[in-house]
């Protein structure tokens, strides 16, 4: 029997504005909460709710973790190998 592999995770990249937001997070609890949310998104990029808007660009999605109080706006590249984080709220 062949070993089963975990699903391939998408790579996480940050927009310039999300990078600036990330630099302002200093609490270890907030970093941990954001890390958990990013792992969930990297494993299941379609988990967030689509945000309706302009259809000419990539589909913007919103993932909210109510337990950890984290909100992430992101889009997924065409091949689903990269998740680009556009906005972070912790």
* pLDDT higher than 90, residue 4: no
**Residue 3 or 16, more confident:** 16
Measured CA to CA, the distance from residue 85 to residue 70 in angstroms comes to 13
Higher-scoring residue by pLDDT: 39, 5? 39
Q: How many domains does the chain have?
A: 1
pTM summary value: 0.83
- Say if 42 falls within a structural domain: yes
Whether 3 maps to a domain, the answer reads: no
* Pairwise CA distance, residues 89 & 9, whole Å: 22
In this structure, is residue 66 part of a structural domain?
Answer: yes
70: in domain: yes
Residue 30 lies in a domain: yes
CB 70 within 8 A of CB 37: yes
Residues facing 64 on adjacent strands: 71
The answer to the question of residue 29 being in a domain is yes
Inside any domain, residue 63: yes
Q: Can you give the residue range of the structural domain that contains 62?
A: 11-78
Residue range 49-75: mean pLDDT, rounded:
87
Mean pLDDT of 23-31: 93
Residue 3 pLDDT: 58
Q: Is residue 86 part of a domain?
A: no
């Amino acid at each position: 029997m062949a070993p089963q592999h975990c699903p391939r995770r998408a790579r996480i990249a940050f927009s310039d504005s999300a990078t600036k937001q990330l630099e302002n997070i200093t609490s270890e609890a907030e970093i941990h909460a954001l890390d958990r949310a990013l792992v969930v998104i990297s494993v299941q990029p379609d988990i967030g709710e689509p945000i309706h808007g302009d259809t000419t660009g990539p589909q913007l999605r919103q993932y909210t973790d109510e337990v950890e109080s984290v909100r992430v706006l992101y889009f997924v590249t065409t091949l689903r190998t990269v998740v680009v984080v556009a906005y972070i709220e912790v």
